[in-house]
Amino acid sequence: MKKILLIIVSLVALAFIFTPNIAPNNPRIEDILSLAQDKDVIIIFNSGGWGYTPLEKAADFEPIIKGIQDTLKEWGYNSVVIPYKRTENSFFGKISSSRDFLNAFDFSSDNLVSELELISERLPGKKIILAGLSSGGALVNRTYEKVSNNIKGSVLTIAAGTPFWIKEPDSENVLQLTNSGGDTLSKGDFSELLIAFVKGPFIYLSSKFSGGNLSWGNAFHAQGHDYAWSSPEINSEIVGFLGERLGVRN
């Protein structure tokens, strides 16, 4: 049994080291340019978790994206949402993504930066909003750090629940949502995170035994790591931020 376990661990370690970087299938740049051509604002959306959840199934972040779009529409801006996946939904895709996570999304952010630079070059004058939740927040923060100074003024970043170990850009174009410091993952509250880590496996197994479909990631949910457009605090922070950076059109 020990030999089998050692072999499994060794194989996973080798896969982690030698699996090449795998880029997920994202919309082609030509399709993005076509969708965004007659829009004022382009919203790049990245979900939490593994980062491949489509917008319509992202119950934890879709209402915020819709709220942003509705607000922009009220102010005279039309917008389009472009989903951006961090991870290919496969075993080796997740291995690659896990390594990218440990490297602060260096690979994923490079890919996204290249597309943003091209979008800004081909469609000058467009405003771009990068919006991400949790690990998605880490990605959009990293991406904003890397974009060239030529387009930084056109890019706004809204990061919700970014993990505490991720560097946050110091810019007036970046909004960090932390539930006023109540998000234990963003705050780095180790005692609460330890409790979530210990309880996670039991919550996950309990869900499976009762016929539930709770994901592994959701079983380890950190206290305060929920973000809702219906929350007056979250709503006002985002609307205030967009109002300052974009304003109402005449």
Per-residue pLDDT tens digits for 131-184:
999 999 999 999 999 999 999 999 999 999 999 988 889 999 999 999 988 888
Return the sign of the alpha-carbon dihedral for residues 213, 216, 217, 220: positive
What is the C-alpha separation between 196 and 50, in angstroms, rounded?
A: 19
Q: What is the pLDDT of residue 60?
A: 86
Q: Is pLDDT of 218 > 70? A: no
What is the C-alpha separation between 19 and 180, in angstroms, rounded?
A: 39
Is the domain defined by 2-179+226-245 classed in CATH 3.40.50.1820?
Answer: yes
Q: What is the pLDDT of residue 194?
A: 75
pLDDT in tens, 66-81: 999 999 999 999 999 9
* Six-digit token string for 2: 């020990």
What is the C-alpha separation between 171 and 130, in angstroms, rounded?
A: 14
Taking all residues of the chain, what is their mean pLDDT, rounded to a whole number?
A: 87
Task: Give domain limits for the chain.
Answer: 2-179+226-245, 189-225
Q: What is the pLDDT of residue 20?
A: 75
Which H/E stretch holds residue 51?
none
Class of residue 176 by CB neighbours under 10 A (exposed 0-12, middle 13-18, buried 19+): middle
What DSSP designation does 250 have?
-
Between 179 and 210, where is the model more confident?
A: 179
What is the C-alpha separation between 93 and 21, in angstroms, rounded?
A: 8
- Cβ atoms < 10 Å from Cβ of 91: 10
pLDDT above 90 covers what percent of the chain? 54
CA 209 to chain centre: 31
